[in-house]
A and B are shown apart, each in its own frame.
Chain A
Amino acid sequence: MIIQQHTSGTIEILTMAGRLTLGEGCSALREAVRQLVDRKADLLVDLSGVNYIDSAGLGELVASFNTITAAGREMKLLRPAKRVDSMLHMTRLYSTFEIFEEEATALKGFKAR
């Protein structure tokens, strides 16, 4: 799992690539989210490079969403790859997240801080 991070204003953009599964992928995301909450940032997760997600990975995405919204911030998803997209649909979590195809549109979707 490769995570790259860059910032746009108060929004952190997390680009994930590889497998979001129990172990490496999940713990990398959890650690990134923990740091974001400390910095009081909003989060956009780019999932276009995530080629495999398991139930633990899905659980981690939702746990991140819960943590960030509980801290009064926003979390949105960008371009989920095919498998992530079908998991989000199957579990009806598609409506929980705001999902965007374009980074610029996604960034405009965040509340101004």
Chain B
Amino acid sequence: MFDVLMKDTNTMPPADAYRNETIDLQQKLARVQSLLEAARRVHSTIRLDEVLSGVLEIAAKELEADGAFFVSVSPELQARTSVYGEVPDDWSRWTEAAEIPGYSGAVVPGERVETLAHLVIYRREPLSLEEADFLEGLALQSALAIGNAQHHEKSIEWERVKLDLDAARAIQRSLLPHSVPDIPGYSLSFRSTTCYEVGGDYVDAVLLPGGKMMIVLADVAGKGFASAMISTTFRSSFRAMAGAGLPLHEMAARMNNLHWQEGLEARRRYVTAILMCLDPTNHTVEAVNCGHNPAFVVSGLERWRIGASGPPLGMLPDRTYEIERFPTPEGSQVLLYTDGLTEVFYEDEEFGEDRLMALMHDSPAPDLLDRMWQELHRYSRGARQTDDMTALYLCRAELKGDGA
């Protein structure tokens, strides 16, 4: 290349100044044209492997080099490229500082790093100034093309991850109770919203053969995909044990040890939960709180909270839990919720338990959860949700009629 540049302009008579200028312009034009052509070829693909091999081929051919290669700070990028042509065996030891004769390199800048790689050619004769300029220009063009190709790969990968997450979300939604068990005289409702595609909150209600109803509301530590996976295994052990007729405190102790035995990573993703069993024949509720936010009970003019009797499930081995029993006369209400509700913030102030409990009136209100979500949205001034939010509301209808 550049044969037009090789003429020795110094020997020309000064009268030929006009001709010199013309040659100089021709040289510049040739340089720009060859770089433009190289750029066109480099940008003709968005496949990273083709970009990398294409750049090396252009560099070696245009500069009449024996071979060309990239040396990158990124092991992923280095793994994607190989040597083009013939280079000495020690090529991989090339560094900018080493200045080994025969090698010429140019910086390929990165988007977040000053130097993503060096584009290096091997040729016994040193490069002329124009050739060095060309190599530098080609390295800059390859930086753009590598960036584009990497973005393209990431967007394809992201599409795949998104499809996976969509499928996971569909599965998780399908694991929520499809219909709320119908128990005459009682009303049960729940609501759950995740802050990411999938979440670590879990709510379930299972009607047992004898007519009792097992209820659970749980919150896996953390959020997102890992917590969602744990919540699915938690669901399996809850469902397997719910029908076994175990007392609730025993069930909690077993679920605690099962989770603990899953190992270190699962222990970091421990579960806070409330297990509850409603007996609609003698109108009583049994509840066990395993390290979870206190449940709220409103019964007539009385209000109280069911606090934890033991630590969250899966954190520590061999823990014990206690059952709390209480009657559910007409008009009784129980609210279970995850901390995503109490920890809704406005500036530095969180919504908190007291505000949440105050939303429960003395009489049951079937639309309580809708009101609660509206109120939380209003409180946070519509700020983006930062945690999964789940609540379950159980109430017993009040006697209607002549006030008897």
Contact = CB atoms under 8 A, between A and B. Distances in A.
A71 interface: no
Interface in A66-113: 66, 90-93, 96
A60 interface: yes
Contacts, number: 50
Contacts of B307: 90, 92
Contact of B315 (A22, A56, A62, A90): A62
Contacts of B294: 90
A90 B267 CA distance: 18
A75 B294 CA distance: 28
A91 B310 CA distance: 7
B221 A56 contact: yes
Contact of A66 (B291, B309, B316, B339): B316
A22 B270 CA distance: 14
Interface string B360-390: 0000000000000000000000000000000
A61 to B, nearest CB: 10
B268 A60 contact: yes
Given A55-B222, A90-B294, A91-B291, A63 B268 contact: yes
Dominant secondary structure at the B interface: loop
B308 A59 contact: no
A59 B267 contact: yes
Interface in B219-270: 219, 221-222, 264, 267-270
B267 A92 contact: no
A77 to B, nearest CB: 15
B264 A91 contact: no
A58 interface: yes
Nearest to B221: A55
A96 to B, nearest CB: 6
Nearest to B267: A63
A26 to B, nearest CB: 9
Interface of A: 22, 55-56, 58-60, 62-63, 66, 90-93, 96
30 contacts: A22-B222, A55-B221, A55-B222, A55-B272, A55-B339, A56-B221, A56-B222, A56-B268, A58-B221, A59-B267, A59-B315, A62-B267, A62-B270, A62-B316, A63-B268, A66-B316, A90-B293, A90-B294, A90-B308, A91-B272, A91-B291, A91-B308, A91-B312, A92-B291, A92-B308, A92-B309, A92-B310, A93-B291, A93-B311, A93-B315
